[in-house]
Chains A and B, each alone.
Chain A
């Protein structure tokens, strides 16, 4: 069964619009990672969250981890075509470095 539920599975937005991607775990996480992938290419590290209630921002992307450390959201403000790609959340269950990934969200930004 999928340990990480990511939603939505796909998203098409108009350039300039804001959007949010969610990642939910049934278990408390040790850490939550967000990556971006162009299909057929490697993963680009976006952000890592470890503390309950933590929030990080980089340029127009903000990621939050809830207090219970079971849910994270990735918010993009004023989306651009360059934001298009597949966004993956990865969960770290313990101090080991293995990640379990969500199903991914395919984002398309229409100019």
Chain B
């Protein structure tokens, strides 16, 4: 079946630094990828929708300049957390859809970000 690879799975960084998270669709072309955020013991909250070759669409309350999304190819989307602060510590997870008639949405394995 289709697989979505997310990297890194775990990252610890200092406050003020930027962190890039990659989301790749391994065996299908993902025209759309979604980025979610999950706080401990809470559900997933959609942050933004990433469309290949165009600007991402951000959900209300999500800072565009803070969470930079690039979807330069049909198999790769990146989320960069800029000038990270401890409150950005969270579990970030991407999902991708693609393939003709494929209604399934596949998720990456997630990235646990800890900002010191």
Residues in A lying within 8 Å of B, measured CB to CB = 31, 33, 35, 40-43, 45, 48, 50, 88, 90, 96-104, 106
Contacts and interface: CB of A to CB of B under 8 A. Distances in A.
Contacts of A31: 103
Given A97-B97, A98-B34, A100-B46, A40 B112 contact: yes
B44 A41 contact: no
A98 B48 CA distance: 9
20 contacts: A31-B103, A33-B105, A40-B91, A40-B110, A40-B112, A42-B6, A42-B93, A42-B108, A43-B95, A43-B107, A45-B104, A45-B106, A48-B104, A50-B103, A88-B44, A101-B36, A101-B44, A102-B43, A104-B42, A106-B41
A101 B34 CA distance: 13
B25 interface: no
B80 interface: no
Contact of B110 (A33, A35, A41, A88): A41
A99 B106 CA distance: 11
A98 B49 contact: yes
A11 B113 CA distance: 28
Contacts, number: 52
A61 B103 CA distance: 20
A102 B45 CA distance: 10
B32 interface: yes
Contacts of B46: 98-100
B32 A97 contact: yes
Given A31-B103, A50-B103, A99 B95 contact: yes
A35 B6 CA distance: 18
A106 B43 CA distance: 11
A97 B107 contact: no
A85 to B, nearest CB: 13
